[in-house]
Structure 1
Amino acid sequence: MKKNISTQVIQYLENRGVEHIFGLCGHTNIAFLSALEKSSIQFVNVRHEQIAAHAADGYARAKKQTAVVLSHLGPGLTNAATGVANAALDSIPMVVIAGDVPSHYYGKHPHQEINLHSDASQYEIYRPFVKRAWRVDIPELFPEILSKAFQLAESGRPGPVLISVPMDVFSKDLDVSLFEQINHHTHTIEKPSIDDQTANRILDRLLQAERPLLYVGGGILLADAAEELKAFSDHLSIPVAHSLMGKGAMPDDHPMTLGMTGFWGTKFINDQCKEADYILALGTRFAEADASSWESEYTFNFQSTKLIHIDIDPNEIGRNYPVEIGAVADLKQALTVLNRVAKERLPKGLNRPELKKEIVAYRKDFQASNLTNVQDESFPMKPQRILQEVREVLPPDAFITTDVGWNKNGVGQQFPVLTPGTILTPGGFATMGFGAPAALGAKIAQPDRVVVSLVGDGGFGQNPSVLATAVEENIPVVWIVMNNSAFGTIAGLQMAHYETTYGTVFRKDGESYSPDFAAIARGYGMKGIKITSASEFKEALADAIASQEPCVIDVAMKNDPVPTDGHWNINDIYSPNSKRSHVSVN
């Protein structure tokens, strides 16, 4: 018996537990969309494919499930590319299904095909950043490709894959036995762990160390290993520092949490890393900003410090620093073994009361140093006060999405994340425009949780049509636009080194300019609030959350730089032999 391929693909997705598909229509995928109408899967319709990819990214992070994106060929696929690349660099599992040119028109350059160098090869565009790109040339292979795509997206180091489908294939009939055959294949691949011998070798080093430290990245959250990490730290009283992507792996109010390292890390945190004699790194790639451009005098000094590194991706072990013990393993599995062996060897664990006091004292000093900014009544508001009042209003398990700039760097440094996995930020690609649509995906994934997006005016202005989807689907996200009428972080960098802000601030006739984002929100049919004084903000946010409606809060913010106690070599490139970094831009 034969049935339409689009119908069978959707049945397969239903069987895999897919509940939402993010995307945008085009003439190459409407056969798929028409079949989707009869499905239990909800189609989240957007106005731009980049929104679809970022929303799917946020969905995958919040739901801990592979996201699915539907795209049109040519401009649809290129529009989505930035969001898919962002997911790739942050190791987010995603399956992109894209319409392609009709197979019987290969070589004829049909409508919207990209073919300057070769025919029928749009899938090649994604090769640099997806784990694999397929084109379905033979309809009978579609079921097998679909199964392989999900398996590859989810296994090892997760990431996006692409299936490019000639539009005529979507409309063909196919024998149902081919899809029935792959339904017998497992949907879950068992993940590797470490053995007791390796665990004991690691513990030997950590127990002999005078100043051991755990350094964690986003891999902990991807592996859903936050609970195991906390148990290991608690049992052996080992402090935990983290990368930007590792923020929230340990709650920021935990007595052994140090905080974020690198350029936006504080001197205390960076010194703790630099002075450690052994570091156990878990699920991190030691990215440039997190590692102070890998210069040993600032954050990590692996000439004197010894490194143990566990990661699911062998390519990351030893990429930037020499490793004494390296292990390829799923972090949840590896920490489960480490916890068991640690408890067998030290049933009562270890206690380091002086270190805990030192961390608590540092935290109090840091909060005190920020108090003037937090309590500042001026308007435009101080960004530190915005973050403080957001934290006071939100429940501990609320999701926060960020974009890039103050909202990302300031949150990493100063905003306490109290529940693991609740901060969604663009790490590896640092994509401006991520935060607003990612919040949509997070709220769809976790409808009972509060979702707030902290974004700058530059990032929010890139794709404000995200609000149309929020209204159509009634997705009650609150967007806080931290509005400094500039690409503020870059403006501060440019002013510090070149004494100009040309091309980085928004002006009209020499005066600061910004759209009225609250009015834009109202134009889309949702609530929009424009803050006019610092005293209004906290209550407005609380009311917006309580309303259970989508809402934009436009709050003018002073363009002060995030403190940078670490190091980033770009400053040396701009101004050699100088200590310049960012400055305030009014």
Structure 2
Amino acid sequence: MEKLISELLVDYLERRDTKYVFGLCGHTVIAMLDALNKSDKLHYLSFRHEQIAATAADGYARMTGRASVVLSHLGPGLTNATTGVANASADSVPMVVIAGDVPSYYYGKHPHQEVNMHSDASQYRIYEPFVKRAFRVDKKELFADILDRAFKIAESGRPGPVLISVPMDMFSEKVDTLFFERTHHNISEIAKPSLNRDVAKAIAKKLVEAKNPLIHIGGGIIVSEASEALKELVEFLDVPISRTLMAQGALPDNHPLMLGMTGFWGTNFINKKTANADVILALGTRFAEADSSSWYKGVTFNPDKTKFIQIDIDPVEIGRNYRLDIGAVADLKSALEEITTAVKAICPQGKTNDALKEEIKAYKEGFKKSYADIANDSRYPMTPQRILKDVREVLPEDAIICTDVGWNKNGVGQQFEITQPKTIMHPGGFATMGFGSAALLGAKLAKPDKQVITLIGDGGFGTNPSVLAAAKEYNIPVVWVVMNNYAFGTIAGLEGSHYHHTFGTVFKIDNEPYNPEWSEIAKAYGIKAKKVSNADEFKGILEEALDSGEPYLIDVPMENIPVPTEGIWNINDIYTPKDNVVAGVLVSGEAEKSAHVSTN
């Protein structure tokens, strides 16, 4: 029996229990839209910009752990979606992008919106640098095989996006259903590699014998759902944990052994702990620049003092930035279970380190005290610290927060306690403006019983305010908290510290601060909205927004106060060179002599 490929694709997605397709129309995909229109199980969500569609799909996939689906037109549709898809790739988020393409019989003849500068119908190659695989379907008989492979590639190993470019005529082609028969019986999940027991024993021995061990975790812990396995090992050995931005929530920020975030926005206390460890077990982290203080030796990590052990699902990351004593490719959950079993065999009584826990407790209390005054300040525009304090006091601990870029990401990573996995979503690797305002839509669709908000700057929100239309059209009850400092605040602070001006980074008319009235714009979209007029009313408005059961925007005027940091970022040394720093290496003196307050 023959059926249309578009119909078989819908059937495939339904069998995968796909709930939503995120997209934007174009002439190359209307045959697919026709098939979606006939489905009772699939819901197609139409957005006003492809970046929003891809980012909403990103948020949905982070919450479900399964590949989300994006439907895109070719040409500008495909290029508009690139930022959202690349952001998902940088943060290891599974996604399958199905993109319409020019008709297969018109390759190279300049059909409408074709890209063919270097080869005919080559627009799908735009995605090759940041997707796990970019397919183009050149024969209808291969469609089922490519489709099935795409989802498995997206969800296996280190998760990430996969592109399938489909010539528009292919959607309307009929193919024998036998070609899809295999997809009815194929496995839906692929078993992940476990850790060799001898390797687990070797790692356990190093942890047990270390005088000053530490576990450094990245977002891979959350992706692999390894929080409980990590907690068991950490508490059995009383070993301290440091984390990256993307690992926030893997263990509670208030856990007695959790130090906090390392790197740029880490503190001296945390960075000293990691720099002076004799053994570091690194789990699901790439040792990226932000988490490693631009790899300055002795600031956050010190390979002269530390023996590194690294476990990751992606073999490409093993030993990329630091030399290793042991490297292993494995699923983190099963690896931690093997290591814990080996540790208990070597050291059945476990270890206690009450002095360390008291030291961490005292540090955390002192750190909170250091910004308590500004966090309780009632001045207006509000301080970012006050905004974060009020949000934490109002928001349930199981609520989901999507951040963006600036205070809402870096400050949240540093000062805002997250206690449950998958309740915070950061645009980590790509640091994409506009992430928060769209990702929360997907997060809410995936977790309709949870409160979902975004903390986002006015610069980030202004990149794509048409997210409001989608929230209204599909009645997605989320809350946007626009932290409005009338600037691209992070870059304004950075430029101001080095060049003593803010040219090109602040929003002004006739030298007066300018922004659209975001609350009025939201109302024009049919969204409930309020602008905060004094600091003490913010909490009440936030409570009202959360209780409203519908989309709600809060415009919060805010001072542009830099996120305080004691870490090091190489760009500061590029813009304002220091005598004791050459090519990313501290030449003389202790690491902290080069530390300075960043303006980010």
Q: TM-score, normalised by structure 1?
A: 0.98
1:289 positional shift:
1.1
Match of 2:569 in 1: 568
The aligned amino acid for 2:30 is: I
1:231 is the counterpart of 2:259: no
8 Å CA contact 2:219, 2:244 repeated in 1: yes
The one-letter amino acid paired with 1:462 is: T
Letter in 1 for 2:508: R
1:205 is the counterpart of 2:203: no
Which amino acid counterpart does residue 291 of structure 2 have in structure 1?
Answer: D
Which amino acid in structure 1 is aligned with residue 377 of structure 2? Answer: D
> Counterpart of 2:243?
242
CA deviations 1:228-271 (Å, max 9, x no partner) are 11111111111110011111111111111100000100110001
Instruction: Give 1:383 deviation, angstroms.
Output: 0.3
The answer as to whether partners of 1:495 and 1:582 remain within 8 angstroms in 2 is no
The match for 1:498 is 499
Task: Identify the residue that residue 440 of structure 2 maps to in structure 1.
Answer: 439
Map 1:190-201; keep pairs closer than 5 Å.
190-201=191-202
- Structure 1 residue 339, shift from structure 2 partner: 2.1
Structure 2 equivalent of residue 24 of structure 1: 24
1:264 is matched with 265
Unpaired runs of 5+ in structure 1? none
Q: Deviation per CA, 1:210-237: give whole Å up to 9, x if none.
A: 1110000011111111111111111111
Indicate yes or no: 2:94 matched with 1:77.
no
Contact 1:491-1:505 at 8 Å conserved across structures: yes
Aligned 8 A contact 1:220 1:226 in 2: yes
Q: Does 1:11 align with 2:11?
A: yes
Equivalence for 1:37: 37
> Corresponding residue for 2:54?
53
Is the deviation greater in 531-540 or in 181-190? Answer: 181-190
Tell me how far apart the structure 1 counterparts of residues 120 and 506 of structure 2 sit (CA, whole Å): 42
TM-score by length of 2: 0.96
Are the structure 2 counterparts of residues 582 and 303 from structure 1 closer, same or farther at C-alpha, using a change threshold of 3 Å? closer
Look up the match of 2:182.
Answer: 181
- In 2, the alpha carbon distance for the partners of 1:521 and 1:340 equals 54
| SS of residue matched to 2:349 | coil
Identify the residue that residue 587 of structure 2 maps to in structure 1: none
What is the distance in 1 between the residues matched to 2:344 and 2:36? 51
Compute the displacement of 1:156 (Å).
1.0
Q: Separation in 1 of the partners of 2:3 and 2:418?
A: 49
Q: Is the 8 A contact 1:211 1:278 kept in 2?
A: yes
Output the aligned Cα RMSD.
Answer: 1.1
Measure, in 2, the Cα distance between the counterparts of 1:548 and 1:211: 50
Please show how residues 262-411 of structure 1 align to structure 2 within 5 Å: 262-411=263-412
**After TM superposition, which residue ranges in structure 1, 4 or more long, deviate above 3 angstroms?**
344-348, 578-584
Which residue of the partner structure matches residue 451 of structure 2?
450
Instruction: Give the percent of matched residue pairs that are identical in Structure 1 and Structure 2.
Output: 60
| Counterpart contact for 1:62–1:442, Cα < 8 Å | yes
Are the equivalent residues in 1 in contact too, given 2:208–2:343 (CA < 8 A)?
no
Alpha-carbon displacement from aligned partner over 1:268-308 (angstroms, at most 9, x marks no partner): 00011011110000000001011000011311001111100
Contact kept, 8 Å, 2:193 with 2:330, in 1: the verdict is: yes
Is contact 2:566-2:598 (8 Å) kept?
A: no
Tell me the number of residue pairs that the alignment of Structure 1 and Structure 2 aligns: 584
Equivalent-residue separation in structure 1 for 2:66 and 2:260 (angstroms): 27
2:98 is aligned to 97
Q: Name the aligned partner's letter for residue 49 of structure 1.
A: E
Offset at residue 340 of structure 1 (A): 2.3
Q: Secondary structure at the match of 1:258?
A: strand
For residues 163-218 of structure 1, the C-alpha deviation after alignment (integer angstroms, 9 at most, x for no partner) is 00000000011101111122211111000011221111001101111111000001
The alignment partner of 1:231 has SS state of: helix
Contact 1:476–1:550 (CA under 8 A) maintained in structure 2 = yes
Question: Quick one: which amino acid aligns to residue 317 of structure 1?
Answer: I
SS in 2 for 1:359: helix
State the one-letter code of the partner of 1:408: K
Code of the aligned partner of 1:393:
V
Partner deviation per Cα, 1:527-578 (whole Å, 9 max, x = no partner): 0110000001011101110111110000001100000100000000000017
| CA displacement, residues 348-397 of structure 1 (integer Å, 9 cap, x when unaligned) | 32111000000000000001001011110100001001001111111111
1:220 is matched with 221
Question: Aligned equivalents of 2:308 and 2:346: distance in 1?
Answer: 22
Letter in 2 for 1:137: D
* Conservation of the 8 A alpha-carbon contact between 2:564 and 2:599: no
Aligned partner of 1:112 in structure 2 is 113
Q: What is the alpha-carbon distance in structure 1 between the residues aligned to residue 317 and residue 59 of structure 2?
A: 24
Partner of 1:134: 135
Contact 1:400–1:422 (Cα < 8 Å) also in 2: yes
SS of 2:100's partner is strand
Q: Is the 8 A contact 1:380 1:557 kept in 2?
A: yes
CA distance in 1, matches of 2:267, 2:42: 46
Tell me if the contact between 1:489 and 1:582 (Cα under 8 Å) persists in the aligned partners: no
Structure 2 unpaired stretches of 5+: 580-593
Q: Report deviation, 1:583.
A: 4.8
Work out the CA distance in 2 between the residues paired with 1:247 and 1:296.
Answer: 24
Post-superposition shift, 1:582?
Answer: 4.2
Structure 1 SS opposite 2:236:
helix
Q: Where does residue 551 of structure 1 map in the other structure?
A: 552
Counterpart contact for 1:139–1:174, Cα < 8 Å: yes
Aligned residues of 2:566 and 2:597 also touching (Cα < 8 A): no
Contact 1:497–1:581, Cα closer than 8 Å, also in 2 = no
Question: What is the distance in 2 between the residues matched to 1:210 and 1:344?
Answer: 19
Measure, in 2, the Cα distance between the counterparts of 1:519 and 1:116.
Answer: 44
Show the 5 A alignment for 1:406-555: 406-555=407-556
CA distance in 1, matches of 2:468, 2:221: 32
Counterpart Cα distance in 2 of 1:317 and 1:117: 35
Code of the aligned partner of 1:50: Q
Residues in 2 aligned to 1:563 and 1:58: alpha-carbon distance in whole angstroms = 28
Alpha-carbon separation, structure 1, partners of 2:599 and 2:116: 46
SS of the equivalent of 2:564 reads coil
Whether the 8 Å contact between 2:205 and 2:343 is mirrored in structure 1 is no
Partner Cα distance (1:24, 1:130) in 2: 20
Tell me how far apart the structure 1 counterparts of residues 150 and 543 of structure 2 sit (CA, whole Å): 42
